[in-house]
Amino acid sequence: MELSDIDIMLAVGRSGKISQAAKELNYAQSNVTTRIKKLEEEYQVQLFNRSSKGVIPTEKGTQFLAYAARIRGLLHDLQQEMIDPEEPSGTLKIGIVETAASRRFMEILNEYQMTYPDVSISLVNATSPKVLRHKIQSSELDGAFISGACVKEGLKVEYEMQDTVHIISKRTDTLLESFCQLSWVVFPQGCPYRELTEKFLAEEELSAKKLIEVSTMENLLNCVESGIAVTIMPCSVVHNKPEAYTLHNLSDVFTPTTTTFVRGENRYVSSALKQFMRLLHEKCITF
């Protein structure tokens, strides 16, 4: 096995398609297929189940991918430790869920950039914590802000923020009397607040058919502000224009929420990431 086989396996595992992995790695598709078959012959196991729709890892393939991710992570850490200077520089790759991308967070980023101008910041937005967890574990991100109960094995929590969840509507002085007449705007599947909305609707014995799915916080808030729909989100998402919305309380069961900043456990912490986490603690950032 060669180190390049690790990258091939990880690319195929990510995309589920040999053609997509070949394009990503700039390899011929036949080369990727041959390398996988060679690995299967070397270890006397089948690593992927093939179909017309793509490939799915077998049990042994899943084990191989887990080891491959660890090997790639260690190689990434080795490279970073060898080249990492004492003064922060290079690229800091941070993931963030849409609900955490607040003005306060941007102020922290601005201060960090002014303090450490040699660091190039790369922000990756997502609505699904699962996507960000995967990117941390595959060394695509140095760390990420993730909402909900999402801390898994292999992740280390470096900072934690508390918030409350509410039904958010356009500005109104009256109570929301009839939930059954409302449409609800949500993020795609995988978002913890979508799951919370669906749970709430089930608890109230309401239909979940009136869901409007959007992919950005801007579109979600536009739907709410215009009165097209209401949403269930942390109260911090309306920080830029609080006068345009009304927050309606939920039961205590649904109210608390947590956003955490996590990184890969037992992974090398670059000087750029170390100073970013220090700034988070110093500024006591809240969303």
CATH number for the domain harbouring residue 248: 3.40.190.10
Domain match, 15 and 33 both: yes
Domain match, 210 and 235 both: yes
Domain end (from 33, 55, 81)? 81
Whether 210 has a pLDDT exceeding 70, the answer reads yes
**Separation of alpha carbons 99 and 191, rounded Å:** 10
Domain match, 218 and 181 both: yes
Strands 256-264 and 155-170: antiparallel
Domain match, 67 and 100 both: no
Domain end (from 17, 51, 81)? 81
Query: Quick one: tokens of 146?
Result: 């993730």
**Separation of alpha carbons 200 and 250, rounded Å:** 9
**Separation of alpha carbons 62 and 66, rounded Å:** 6
Domain match, 155 and 276 both: yes
Domain match, 70 and 108 both: no
> Between these two residues, 283 and 245, which has the higher pLDDT value?
245
Domain match, 243 and 204 both: yes
Give the per-residue pLDDT at 164: 85
**What is the tens place of the pLDDT at every residue in 21-60?**
888 888 898 888 998 999 988 999 999 988 888 888 999 9
Domain match, 9 and 75 both: yes
Domain match, 180 and 153 both: no
Domain match, 99 and 156 both: yes
Domain match, 176 and 43 both: no
Return the biggest CA–CA distance within the chain.
Answer: 70
Range of the structural domain that residue 192 is part of: 163-256
Domain match, 60 and 102 both: no
> Between these two residues, 252 and 113, which has the higher pLDDT value?
113
**What is the tens place of the pLDDT at every residue in 166-205?**
999 998 766 666 666 788 999 998 888 998 898 888 887 7
Give the per-residue pLDDT at 284: 66
Domain end (from 43, 62, 81)? 81
**How many domains does the structure of the chain reveal?**
3
**What is the tens place of the pLDDT at every residue in 151-169?**
666 788 888 888 888 999 9
Give the per-residue pLDDT at 214: 92
Average pLDDT, the chain: 84
